[in-house]
Structures are given as structure tokens and as C-alpha cells.
Amino acid sequence: MRCLLAIESTCDETAAAVITRDGRVLGECIATQEELHQQFSGVVPEIAARAHLERILPVIDTAMKQSAIAPSDLEAIAVATHPGLPGSLLVGLAAAKGLAVAWQKPLVGINHVQAHIYACGMGSKESIFPCVGFVVSGGHTTLYQCNAATDWEYLGGTIDDAAGESFDKVAVMLGLPFPGGPQLAKLAETGRSDAIHFPRPMLDDYSSLNFSFSGLKTAVRYRIAGVGKADWGSISLSSEERSDIAASFQQAVIDCLVGKSSRALKQTGLKRLCVGGGVAANQRFRIQLQDACDRSGIELKIAPRELCTDNAVMGALAWERIDLGDFDDLSLDVKPGLLRYANRPNA
Ligand code: KG4
Ligand code: ZN
């Protein structure tokens, strides 16, 4: 049985998994850092890196023990080396290098964004390529033309905030705990998505496949606090107003995501859309994207919900390189890149 160990530490999730060549997960462990970043309403890079350092070896140990395989049975050690937070990435890479030396196993660095899309095909024997790949997470909102697992072309992406980041920031405005995306989606269930017409930034920009969410965030802020007013302390919203704002904001984001991904499909002529990243767990987004794809004869593959947010199982992407004998050596380094422009040529 062919197995690899995959390590993930790009942002605030410390994760390891033992995965077979046919995609079976023999062992998996994820240590989330939500509670450490909650008081700051966002990920604090230094805290994230220190927490990875404390957790990485116990997490790997747990995944290995669960898999019941010996290190000598591993074919390689895969680690996400880009893009991500520099300190966080370095901890995962250092652990992977240490184990590669100790266990005498080859190293394989993987692209975290490509792994998010690869997750869409896990559990199925058919290849998902070629496709339009759409990564929608806390750090990315990016469209790619994916010719093969690691042969990608950048089509467009956010010029400011990522979609997940805007969910998290608006959630803070509504008094929801970090990470706010799932909480905001829950609040939106009781609201009216057409109660307030928030802008759909760049949706009318037919010259690019780019997104922008920072102005939408400001529009929500003005709706809550009033234009030019900074006194948040005195603002009290009724529960109906809160859920209407949540539902209307969520709909504005979804319209942009569905609109631009549909345009990417038309532009490339590709007939398959693969969507991964934390925001792909959003139920309303999933439903509306499915409707749009059904209407235009597009095959939609969204990552299974448990593989949308950061995890090590999607590190199965490494098999694509291992099968080609394409390994890294100990000079492998992290490439944090700019999260927003991840995987853009020359980024
Ligand atoms: O992929 P991920 O774990 O980390 C990054 O690579 O960024 O994505 C986390 C992001 C957060 O912004 C979180 O709020 C968002 O995904 N998210 C959601 C939902 N679940 C997670 N956003 C909207 N609706 C959800 N159900
Ligand atoms: Zn991610």
C-alpha cells in the first residue's frame, strides 16, 4: 500500500494526514487555533506561528498513530510551502524537513491553493481537469484555468479583501465571534436577502475577472453606523435588522462570486467548475452556484464540506508530483507570496 504523510500549516490550522495513493485517509489530525485569535477578531501571524510550533509534532504523531503505519512505510512527506503566512509556513516546512532527514524520505512541497481545488476530485476516480478552479477562502478569491493538477493560469482575483475576509469583518460589525463566516451564514438564514441592496463591486466590470470586497464591507458599515459616524458603542440593531443585513450582505457576495465564475467559464470555454476554500462550505453559495451551472450545462464540483476549510488531506495533491518522480530536496523553501495574488505568475 502506497502512503504519504501530508503536513498543513499555512495559516491558523495545524494539520497532518496519512493518505493512500487511492485517496483513503488512514490517519488525520487538525488542531484549530480559533480560540487563540478570537479576542483579536482575526488571525495574528505571530501567535499562529508559535501555536504551530507547539502543536505540529503532537498533530503529526496523532495522525501517524491513527494510521497504524510505520514511518518506513511512507513513500514521501508532503508539505504546503506556499502561499501563506511566512512564520506559519516555516514551522510546517521545518517539521517536514526534520522528519524527511530522520526517516530518510523524500520531500514534496505543494501549493496550498492548488490543494484546495484538488480536494474537489477526492473520492472520485475521474480527473477534474481541465476545469476553471475557484478558490474562495479567508485569504483568497481567485479564478484559475486549471489544465492539470499543477499546470495553472491565473484568470483573475480580488484586488483587496478576500470573500471570506469580508464575511469575517462584517461578522465583527454584527457582534459575531471569529471566524465569523459560518456564524454570519447562520444569522442570514433568518433574514431577507433582498431587504437592503448592497453594491456588487466589479460585477459590471466586463474587462476583468477581478473581485473587490472592501467597498462592500464599508457599505455595510455605513448601513449600520451611518455615513461618517464612528461611534459604534451607541449603535443597537434589532435582531431583524441584524439578520437582514447578514442575508443581504451574503447575497451581494454570492452574486459577485457566481457572476464572475460564470464569466470565467464563458471566457475559457471550459465546461467544468471546481470550487474549494472555506467559503465554499456556505450552503446558499453552493445552492446558487449549482443552479447557475445547471442552467448553462456546466459540471460543478465543490469540495466536500469537511475539505473546504484548511486540512492536510488535500495534500494528496502531492501524489501528482510523486508519480512523476518530481521531488524536492532540503533546499526547499517557503514562498509566502501575497495571499491575495497567490499563484499569479511571478508573484
Ligand atoms: O480555507 P480556509 O480555512 O482558510 C484560508 O485558506 O483562508 O477559509 C476560512 C474562511 C474564513 O474566512 C471563514 O469565515 C470562511 O472561510 N467560511 C465561511 C463559511 N465557512 C467558512 N464563509 C461563509 N460561509 C461559511 N459557511
Ligand atoms: Zn486555505
When pLDDT is cut at 50, 70 and 90, the band that residue 232 belongs to is low
> What pLDDT digit, counting tens, does each position of 252-282 carry?
999 999 999 999 999 999 999 999 999 999 9
What's the rounded mean pLDDT across residues 11-16? 96
Three-state DSSP at 289 gives helix
Closest-CA residue to 254 (of 338, 181, 303, 339)? 181
What's the rounded mean pLDDT across residues 212-240? 82
Nearest-ligand number for the alpha carbon of 309: 1
What's residue 150's pLDDT? 86
When pLDDT is cut at 50, 70 and 90, the band that residue 342 belongs to is very low
Give distance in angstroms: CA of 137 to centre of ligand 2.
6
Its pTM stands at: 0.92
Tell me if 48 CB under 6 Å of ligand 1: no
Three-state DSSP at 48 gives helix
Tell me if 84 CB under 6 Å of ligand 1: no
Taking 3-state DSSP, the helix, strand and coil percentages for the chain, each rounded to the nearest 5, stand at 45, 20, 35
Domain with CATH 3.30.420.40 in the chain: 3-118+308-322, 126-302
Tell me if 185 CB under 6 Å of ligand 1: yes
Nearest-ligand number for the alpha carbon of 12: 1
Tell me if 166 CB under 6 Å of ligand 1: no
What's the rounded mean pLDDT across residues 50-59? 98
**Which homologous superfamily is 126-302 in?**
ATPase, nucleotide binding domain (3.30.420.40)
> What pLDDT digit, counting tens, does each position of 130-169 carry?
999 999 999 899 999 999 998 999 999 999 999 999 999 9
Kindly list the protein residues that place their beta carbon closer than 5 angstroms to ligand 2, a single-atom ion.
137, 310
**Which homologous superfamily is 3-118+308-322 in?**
ATPase, nucleotide binding domain (3.30.420.40)
From the CA of 179, give the closest atom in ligand 1: 14
From the CA of 285, give the closest atom in ligand 1: 24
DSSP 96-108: HHHHHHHHT--EE
